[in-house]
Amino acid sequence: MPTNGGSRPLAGIRIIDLSNMISGPLATMILGDQGADVIKVEAPGMGDPMRMFGAMRGGMSSTFVNLNRSKRSIVIDLRGETGKEILRRLIRKADVFVQNFRPGVVERLGFGHDAVRALAADVVYASISGFGDTGPFSHRPVYDNVVQALSGVTAVQADPDTGKPELVRNLTLDKATAYTVAQAVTAALLARARGRGGQYVRVAMLDAAIAFLWPDGMMNHTFLGDDVFRVPPIATIYRIYPTADGSITVAALTDDQWARTCRATDREDLIEDPRFRSIFDRLTHMQELREIVTDIIATRTTAEWCALSRSTTFLTPPSCPWTTCPSTRRCGRTARWWKPSTRRRVRCGRRFPPPGSTPRLPSPIDQRPPTANTRIKCWARLATAERKSRRYERAGPWRRTIGDTVNPRGNA
């Protein structure tokens, strides 16, 4: 196991990661950033499909890079008994097992919850699915846009003027699911540490999506009855307003922020306007307020409004490039080079001592995807494969293939 993550909270925890695509790999990357030893298992051939998705350079995908740092990686052919036995040996030393196959697939491979529990009684088994283990949709493939539609996100994002449903143009729910899984796994590890034994964590993407949407997206559907004061959805409150030479977004929710905004825009008369005096008044007369704000913002340039934001803290360009954002440049929140002139990465969202922690390992994509064009006949014998497995254990971040086939280059 790598030792350079020893100061992080999950140091000493080993995770076997059979997941691919977005939610599972992002969840295990988060855990890896926090010190866990994550071993990513991929099939021979293409491996994780995300290797082929996103901006490419030399056969490498930026999306895969951004989802798989802080991991080691291994290719195992689970179609043969040799590869299955190698995975069983890895599981016996594992603390966490993560998979996101459709219900029934991992059981047919021989690595369902009961089978893995028989190999490691106190393992935390995390299963990620689209719609749960049972039900009419349980065996359907799932993607972020599908869950956005089924969970109600597209309805919340509907155009305020036309009512036409809109997608969030980002893999929001894949990522929300990943964070749900990462938190659930750490909670399960805490339960195990307190003597409650191994845990079975099941996360359905649809469930995670609705829970993620609920606090604000369902604010008008939480209280039941006819005496509820309902307000416009957040999507109708937050708008982008055209300036004299561009556009900007405005946020002034509290009464104090509203008063400072009025003074900064030379419209102090609006402070005592009975339509806008309190936050409830402004929500009630949101359409009128939006028309007034549109006329005000159009009178100055984006730079002039941004200068005012230093004192009012309510104005910002709607699409500020991260490379020019003051918070990014001054605080290092996003722009850090992993390899100068070749790759950027984001700083981990969670920080633990020592300050300024960085991923322990680069993504297992520094070479090309695994291939299966070279047969190693002697690997048909388990003893030889086991020796290869031990060599892998000492190999650090570099990929070693275990199973019936091997990449002739010996890495990804």
- In the beta sheet, which residues pair with residue 57? 60
**CA 198 vs CA 90, 180, 189, 192: distances in Å:** 17, 19, 8, 6
One-letter amino acid for residue 356 of the chain: G
Q: Which helix (H) or strand (E) holds 339?
A: strand 336-339
The CATH class, in words, for 14-214+349-402 is: alpha beta
Q: Encode the chain (412 residues) as per-residue pLDDT tens digits.
A: 444 456 889 999 999 999 999 999 999 999 999 999 999 999 999 899 999 999 998 888 999 999 999 999 999 999 999 999 999 999 999 999 999 999 999 999 999 999 999 999 999 999 999 999 888 888 888 999 999 999 999 988 888 778 899 999 999 999 999 999 999 999 999 999 999 999 999 999 999 999 999 988 888 888 988 888 887 776 667 888 899 998 888 888 889 989 988 988 889 999 999 999 998 889 888 889 989 999 999 999 988 888 877 655 555 655 554 444 444 444 444 444 444 446 666 656 565 555 444 555 555 544 444 543 333 332 333 344 444 444 444 443 333 333 333 333 333 3
Structure tokens at 314: 């309510």
What is d(CA 62, CA 69) in angstroms, rounded to the nearest whole number? 11
Nearest to 412 by CA among 29, 111, 34, 40: 40
Per the CB < 8 A criterion, the answer to whether 87 and 75 are in contact is: no
Distance CA 126, CA 345 (A): 27
In the set 33, 77, 174, 404, the catalytic residue is 174
Q: Contact 148/173 with Cβ under 8 angstroms? A: yes
Residues 6+ apart with CB under 8 A from 370: 42, 43, 44, 45, 46, 47, 75, 399, 401, 407, 412
Residues 6+ apart with CB under 8 A from 327: 333
Distances (CA, A) of 75 to 13, 87, 371: 21, 10, 9
Within the chain, which residue ranges are assigned CATH 3.30.1540.10? 238-327
User: Could you identify the residue written with the tokens 């080691």?
Assistant: 72
Residues 238-327, CATH architecture: 2-Layer Sandwich (3.30)
Beta strands 315-316 and 240-242: pairing type?
Answer: unpaired
Question: Which amino acid appears at position 316 of this protein?
Answer: T
Q: In the structure encoding, which two tokens stand for residue 256, read together?
A: 């104090």
Give catalytic status of residue 216 as yes or no.
no
Residue range(s) occupied by CATH 3.40.50.10540 in the chain: 14-214+349-402
What DSSP designation does 395 have?
S
Q: Which helix (H) or strand (E) holds 155?
A: helix 153-156
